[in-house]
Amino acid sequence: MDRAGNGKAAGGQVANGIGQGADNSAGRGPAGRAGARSSGSALGPRGRGLFGRLMDGLRTPPAPRQEATSIAIASGKGGTGKSFLATSLAVLMHRAERKTVLVDCDFGLACDHLLLGVKPTLTLQQLLAGQCTVEQVLLKTPCGPRLLPGASGVRRMANPSDKDLTAFARELGVLAEQEDALLLDLGAGIAPATVLSMLGADWIVLVTQPEIAALVDAYAVIKSVGQIKRDARFLIVVNRVSTPGRGEMAFQRLCEVASQNVGAELTYLGEIPDDDSVMQHRLGQLPLVVTDPEAPTSEAVRGLSERLIQICGGIRPRTVDGDAGIRDRFKQHRLFL
């Protein structure tokens, strides 16, 4: 698909033009809101999407451009350690000199700001409502990476509308043109917006635990995504492992079931030990990889981060076809949900 290598400029950013549809003319923030408004039609959002796709076939495709590598951090069961891993990875990627934005996509129950020690005043909620620009919402965290904070305790955000998702995809597209890495910390499970985020990302880091209940739920995620995107790329992390090596055993079990039933590509990224110091870490403190780099979990997460960078081709901006960026992938897959 859109894996044309890393780091080489090819055409730069594309100006909006004939090749981009009506809602591509939307910029950021208030302009974005205007774009979202213009997406309403008698056909409704899904009908318009289908119509838009048919029209896309008649347009000249936009030129290739540079985009960040996007990585969704997902799980089947809740509480497997996604946010712990996502915030740690964001810090480590920043330290590895990758321009990184962590997007808290746990719609309605966001918490990454607490783990990174910042207090947002604006969140994804105001951004998607067109009340501010993405630059206004982005927060520089004390450890370096920038955070696009999510809304917490906002019921409406827990179930984003079609219009919200269109705006979300557009803002991710804007960010992708500026960054090296976009990390999407998702909510657990297979809610439509969560599955869509997995479908739209380049890679999915699926965080599970060694227990059978967590593995069953991880398999449910692989199946749900694999049915729609056969070439989805999953990187499996087994967290809270009490005996070294149990992570790889759990991964083998997952592979056996998945290979029989879905064709998705699974790669073992590694295991993280169960470590009381993670639990004891207070909210508002900086991540453990910063405050206690020698802790067993910190060492494990550092190893995962290095492998992740290697597997994902260095995590540098890479060239994507003009109609195959993250925003376009969200747009395409929305039709299947």
Residue 196 CB, shortest distance to ligand ATP, in Å, is 17
- Say if CB 309 and CB 180 are below 8 A apart: no
- In the bound state with ligand ATP, the residue whose beta carbon lies nearer, of 81 and 149, is 81
Residue 83 CB, shortest distance to Mg ion, in Å, is 3
- In the bound state with ligand ATP, the residue whose beta carbon lies nearer, of 69 and 152, is 152
145 vs 37, 79, 98, 183, CA distance in Å?
Answer: 32, 23, 9, 10
Instruction: Look at residue 112 and give the partner it binds from ligand ATP, Mg ion, none, a contact being a CB closer than 5 to 8 Å depending on partner kind.
Output: none
Instruction: Look at residue 69 and give the partner it binds from Mg ion, ligand ATP, none, a contact being a CB closer than 5 to 8 Å depending on partner kind.
Output: none
If we measure between CA atoms, which residue out of 53, 65, 55, 49 comes closest to residue 16? 65
- In the bound state with Mg ion, the residue whose beta carbon lies nearer, of 83 and 298, is 83
Residue 279 CB, shortest distance to ligand ATP, in Å, is 5
**For residue 222, what are the contacts with CB-CB under 8 A and spacing of at least 6?**
206, 232, 234, 254, 258, 262, 264, 266
Report the residue closest to Mg ion, judged by CB.
83
What span, in angstroms and rounded, lies between the C-alpha atoms of 317 and 181? Answer: 8
Residue type, 226: G
Which residues, 243 to 262, sit near Mg ion by CB under 5 A?
none
What span, in angstroms and rounded, lies between the C-alpha atoms of 127 and 74? Answer: 23
- Say if CB 94 and CB 309 are below 8 A apart: no
- In the bound state with ligand ATP, the residue whose beta carbon lies nearer, of 62 and 108, is 108
Instruction: Look at residue 217 and give the partner it binds from ligand ATP, Mg ion, none, a contact being a CB closer than 5 to 8 Å depending on partner kind.
Output: none
- In the bound state with ligand ATP, the residue whose beta carbon lies nearer, of 90 and 174, is 90
- In the bound state with Mg ion, the residue whose beta carbon lies nearer, of 83 and 297, is 83
CA dihedral 204, 209, 213, 216 (to 10 degrees): 30
- In the bound state with ligand ATP, the residue whose beta carbon lies nearer, of 150 and 200, is 150
* Residue span 79-108 as binding mask against Mg ion, x where in contact by CB under 5 A, dash where not: ---xx-------------------------
Kindly state the number of chain residues that form the binding site for Mg ion, as judged by CB under 5 A. Answer: 2
Residue 240 found at the interface with Mg ion (CB under 5 A): no
Q: Where are the beta strands (DSSP E) in the chain?
A: 65-67, 69-74, 100-105, 139-140, 146-148, 181-186, 203-208, 233-241, 265-273, 318-320
- In the bound state with ligand ATP, the residue whose beta carbon lies nearer, of 80 and 178, is 80
CA 230 to chain CA centroid, Å, is 18
If we measure between CA atoms, which residue out of 190, 189, 228 comes closest to residue 78? 189
Segment interacting with Mg ion (CB under 5 A) among 17-25, 74-82, 263-271, 295-303: 74-82
Question: How is residue 201 annotated by DSSP?
Answer: S
Question: Kind and range of the H or E element at 46?
Answer: helix 44-56
Residue 233 CB, shortest distance to ligand ATP, in Å, is 20
Instruction: Look at residue 70 and give the partner it binds from Mg ion, ligand ATP, none, a contact being a CB closer than 5 to 8 Å depending on partner kind.
Output: none
If we measure between CA atoms, which residue out of 261, 260, 199, 209 comes closest to residue 234? 199
Residues that bind ligand ATP (CB under 6 A): 75, 78-84, 106, 187-188, 239-240, 272, 274-275, 278-279, 297
Instruction: Look at residue 279 and give the partner it binds from ligand ATP, Mg ion, none, a contact being a CB closer than 5 to 8 Å depending on partner kind.
Output: ligand ATP
What span, in angstroms and rounded, lies between the C-alpha atoms of 32 and 137? Answer: 14
Residue 124 CB, shortest distance to ligand ATP, in Å, is 15
Query: Which residues of the shown chain bind Mg ion in the complex (CB under 5 A)?
Result: 82-83
